[in-house]
Amino acid sequence: MLRFILRRLLQMVPTVIAVSLLIFIIFSVVPGSIASSMIADGRGANDPELIERLNREFGLDRPVHVRFGDYIWNLAQFDLGTSFRTRQPVTELIGERIWPTLKLAIAAMCVAIAIGLPLGFFAAMRPGSLLDSITMVGAVSGLSVPQFWLGLLAMYLFALTLGWLPSFGYGEGGLRNLVLPALTLGVGPMALLARTTRAAVLEVMSTDFIRTARSKGMSSFRLVKWHVTRNALVLIITTLGLQFGSMMGQAVVVEKLFSWPGLGSLLIDSVGLRDIPVVQGSILVLVLCFLVINTVVDVLYAVIDPRISHG
Amino acid sequence: MSGTRALLEVQDLQIDIVSAKHRHNVVENVSFTIDHGETFGLVGESGCGKSITALAMIGLLRSPLVISSGSIRFRDRELRGLPERELRKLRGNRIAMIFQEPMTALNPVSPVGRQIAEMFVLHQGATWHEAERKAVEALASVQVPAPEQRVKSYPHEMSGGMRQRIMIAIALACKPDLLIADEPTTALDVTVQAEILKLMKELCSARGTAVLMISHDLGVIAKMCRNVGIMYAGHLVEQRPVEAIFRSPSHPYTNGLLNSLPRLGSRGIHGRKRLQEITGVVPSISAFPAGCRFQPRCERASALCATTQPDQADLGDEGYVRCFHHG
Ligand SMILES: Nc1ncnc2c1ncn2[C@@H]1O[C@H](COP(=O)(O)OP(=O)(O)O)[C@@H](O)[C@H]1O
Ligand SMILES: [Mg+2]
């Protein structure tokens, strides 16, 4: 098992290299620079000399291949460069922001699992029932509602109207500030999870081995506990992993909306300022999170399903 | 245990497929009895309603299939309408079942030992620890080598024949009175098929377990059974002792089944006949013809056959046939 995990981790290396390359290429062809963005928001005069000085200072006057060499060399030493804006090392900036993002994503995932999984399960146990219909209508709505709209609605209702929760910000990092963003981020995955779970359980219930289990004379409770759950989990885990991964991306919107000091807000702010090292670093870290989650899913798979060889 | 009455008595069983708009008959007028320790064969082409009949015996028919009429008495107890709780006590415990597909009939993510052990936990109130120990014994009894190690294996690590042995171990774990074997060897190689049949026969006769043996292959039935029911499109068209069926098949359908059987015997050596398939296919349940259901495929069919269902005609040798033109 350990070797299996190690191998999966090693397999991540080429992906990471490819992704860093792609990120670099994208940001060396996008128009605009830190200098032009400063001019655009009026913090700098449109002075060719100043622009040239800035470009020289940040090394932007060097040819692309030299910059790329630098970038890769630094990356190999886990150095993501220095922010154009704050002159802080990018790793430091990201280090401050990663925990709030992870906290948000994990909380949202917990919401999604705690509600979506049981709902899908019970819906599948009684297909066609009222609970089933309500759950599925809810799931479709949950999937089609835009996140920013849902976030605004939640803010309006729970923060402004009822005054139960703070409407935005990180506060002291406590639970109260976490609730609204986590709910907003969690609704989509919750809906998808409810649907996937329902489909997975129904699929398992129609298999031959469930018929065998019935012929053994077990109650529905034992049928589910002994034979359905694990097999359904095999099917559900994939969705779970993909959702967690794509949630890292969706967090960008929700963080911005709730002024949550995470990687997403950092990314958006840095894009606006053409603070390329921070943008590159943030994206790379988000991709890394995605890859790590995928690996964790693969390992979980191998733990749950004996048919997957560890060899 | 009552010695006088039969173990299983099925009377005029009728099974329908019921949807909001339609009601199609799948199985009709099926009656047979199985004595304690007897092996009864049910034969017919694929799609004749054998599996459905078998599932009805243990109350496992699921919507849209319903038992519309008839009775199923097991050890003098009517199973139709028995509450689910009571049925559960019988299933696996007194009436066990083996299915056709050994590849999919076992839970892929559970070790086979545990799948056997479940039986002891369910029906004998054993602890998991005791049950796992008994599972090793059960594996040994179906002649699986190295049972102590094998209990930890998963189904995908085993061959089809080995999995079917596991199924037999599960089915016979609680020493049931009746074993329903629904095409237990159809999916296996011929050599493995023979081994599995031999094993089933030995184990069941040693324990006095009655068997409802289902197959589309009269050859398999011949090796195992005393009495045979021939099923066509949901009707039992002929029911007789197995020797009688082979000696003098009465129903044209039985005749057809026999002629399509490859035989290593004197007649085969003389090249008497090529293998003959029965022309045509079993009609789908929504298209059962009026009258005798076999009549569209029958050489002997007359105008009467197309309009009227033939009654049961006794044949003297404890058997009957349903055909106006029986031989
Ligand atoms: N759940 C079901 N819904 C509708 N039709 C079914 C269902 N199960 C079986 N049937 C039909 O009932 C007929 C008998 O099936 P079955 O008992 O499986 O045949 P056999 O076991 O003899 O091959 C077939 O025509 C089949 O298509
Ligand atoms: Mg069948």
Q: In sequence order, what DSSP letters do the residues of A69-133 get, joined into one string? A: HHHHHHHHTT---B-TTT-SBHHHHHHHHHHHHHHHHHHHHHHHHHHHHHHHHHHHHSTTSHHHH
Q: Which of residues 65-94 of B touch A (CB under 8 A)?
A: 87-93
Least trusted range by pLDDT, from A74-83, B65-74, B104-113: A74-83
Contact residues, chain A, for B89 at CB < 8 Å? 217
CA A78 from centre of chain: 22
Q: From ligand 2's centre to the CA of B183, what distance in Å?
A: 7
Burial B12-50 (b: 16+ CB within 10 A, else e): ebbbbbeeeeeeebbbbbbbbebbbebbbbbbbbebbbb
Cβ atoms of residues B119 and B170 within 8 Å = yes
In order of A269, B16, B22, B23, B25, the CA distances from B286 in angstroms are 67, 11, 9, 9, 8
User: Torsion angle of alpha carbons A215, A218, A220, A223, nearest 10°?
Assistant: -80
Contact residues, chain B, for A209 at CB < 8 Å? 104-108
Contact residues, chain B, for A237 at CB < 8 Å? none
In order of A32, A47, A85, A277, the CA distances from A40 in angstroms are 10, 12, 15, 20
pLDDT of residue A35: 66
Indicate the angle between helix axes B160-172 and B112-124, nearest 10 degrees: 10
B235: β partners: B232
Contact residues, chain B, for A231 at CB < 8 Å? 107-109
CA A97 from centre of chain: 14
CA B126 from centre of chain: 30
The pLDDT of residue B141 is above 60: yes
**Interchain contact, B109 vs A217, CB within 8 Å:** no
| From B87, B89, B109, residue closest to A234, measured CB to CB | B109
The pLDDT of residue B173 is above 50: yes
Determine how β-strand B39-43 pairs with β-strand B210-215.
Answer: parallel
Query: In which band, very low, low, confident or very high, does the pLDDT at B1 lie, cut at 50, 70 and 90?
Result: very low
Nearest CA in chain A to B107: A209
B8: β partners: B34, B74
Quote the mean pLDDT of chain B: 90
The pLDDT of residue B52 is above 70: yes
Q: From ligand 2's centre to the CA of A238, what distance in Å?
A: 34
| From A214, A216, A231, residue closest to B118, measured CB to CB | A216
Least trusted range by pLDDT, from A71-75, A136-140, B64-68: A71-75
Indicate the top mutation candidate among B48, B58, B101, B180 to test ligand 1's pocket, ranked by most ligand atoms within 8 A of CB: B48
**Interchain contact, B154 vs A231, CB within 8 Å:** no
A21-28 long-range Cβ contacts below 8 angstroms, 24+ apart:
A23/A280, A23/A283, A23/A284, A24/A68, A24/A71, A24/A280, A27/A276, A27/A279, A27/A280, A28/A64, A28/A67, A28/A68
What are the domain boundaries of chain B?
235-327
Tokens of B215: 């197959």
Q: What is the pLDDT of residues A81-139, one digit of tens each?
A: 888 788 888 888 888 888 889 889 999 999 999 999 999 999 998 888 888 899 889 88
pLDDT of residue B268: 43
- This prediction has a pTM of 0.84
> What letter would DSSP give residue A157?
I
Q: Which of A203, A204, A209 should be substituted to probe chain B, the one whose Cβ sees the most B Cβ atoms within 10 Å?
A: A209
Of the CA atoms within 13 Å of residue B19, those in its CB half-sphere come to 4
**Interchain contact, A218 vs B122, CB within 8 Å:** yes
The pLDDT of residue A140 is above 80: yes
Query: Who has greater pLDDT, B119 or A77?
Result: B119
pLDDT of residue A297: 86
Nearest CA in chain B to A205: B107
What's the CA gap between B259 and B276, in Å, rounded?
A: 6
What's the CA gap between A97 and A75, in Å, rounded?
A: 19
Q: What is the pLDDT of residues B245-266, one digit of tens each?
A: 999 899 999 999 998 877 655 4
Secondary structure of residue B31 in the 3-state scheme: strand
| From A208, A212, A219, residue closest to B88, measured CB to CB | A219
Q: From ligand 1's centre to the CA of B284, what distance in Å?
A: 9
| B283 alpha carbon, closest ligand | 1
Quote the mean pLDDT of chain A: 84
| B182 alpha carbon, closest ligand | 2
Nearest CA in chain A to B154: A306
* CA-based radius of gyration for chain B: 21
Residue B174's identity, in one-letter code, is: C
Tokens of A196: 């996937």
In CATH, which superfamily holds the domain spanning A97-304?
MetI-like (1.10.3720.10)
CB-neighbour burial class of residue A14 (10 A; exposed 0-12, middle 13-18, buried 19+): exposed
Contact residues, chain B, for A215 at CB < 8 Å? 58, 60, 91-92, 96-97, 99
pLDDT of residue B252: 92
Q: Average the pLDDT over B269-294 and give the result.
A: 77
Contact residues, chain B, for A222 at CB < 8 Å? 122
| B46 alpha carbon, closest ligand | 1
What's the CA gap between B88 and A218, in Å, rounded?
A: 6
Closest among B66, B68, B74 to B33, alpha carbons compared: B74
The pLDDT of residue A168 is above 50: yes
Asked if B20 has any chain A CB less than 8 Å from its own CB, the reply is no
Burial A283-298 (b: 16+ CB within 10 A, else e): bbbbbbbbbebbbebb
Contact residues, chain A, for B156 at CB < 8 Å? 306-307
Q: In sequence order, what DSSP letters do the residues of B81-105 get, joined into one string? A: T--HHHHHHHBTTTEEEE-S-TTTS
User: What residues in chain A have their Cβ under 8 A from chain B's Cβ atoms?
Assistant: 207-209, 211-219, 222, 226-227, 230-231, 234, 304-307
Cβ atoms of residues B10 and B210 within 8 Å = no
Taking the CA of residue B53 as reference, the ligand 1 atom at the shortest distance is: 17
Q: State the DSSP H helix or E strand holding residue A35, giving kind and residue range, or none if neither.
A: helix A34-40
What's the CA gap between B130 and B120, in Å, rounded?
A: 8
Q: From ligand 1's centre to the CA of A201, what distance in Å?
A: 23
B212: β partners: B40, B180
**Interchain contact, A209 vs B105, CB within 8 Å:** yes
3-state secondary structure B199-259: HHHHHHHHHCCEEEEEECCHHHHHHHCCEEEEEECCEEEEEEEHHHHHHCCCCHHHHHHHH
CA B104 from centre of chain: 18
Cβ atoms of residues A193 and B90 within 8 Å = no
Of the CA atoms within 13 Å of residue A98, those in its CB half-sphere come to 16
Q: From ligand 2's centre to the CA of A202, what distance in Å?
A: 22
The pLDDT of residue A295 is above 90: no
What are the domain boundaries of chain A?
2-90, 97-304
Cβ atoms of residues A116 and A187 within 8 Å = no
pLDDT of residue B72: 96
pLDDT of residue B269: 43
Q: Average the pLDDT over B180-202 and give the result.
A: 92
Reply yes or no: is the peptide bond before residue B64 cis, omega within 30 of 0.
Answer: yes
Percent of chain B with pLDDT over 90: 72
The protein residue whose alpha carbon is closest to atom 20 in ligand 1 is B47
What's the CA gap between B224 and B212, in Å, rounded?
A: 10
Closest CA of chain A from B110, distance in Å: 8
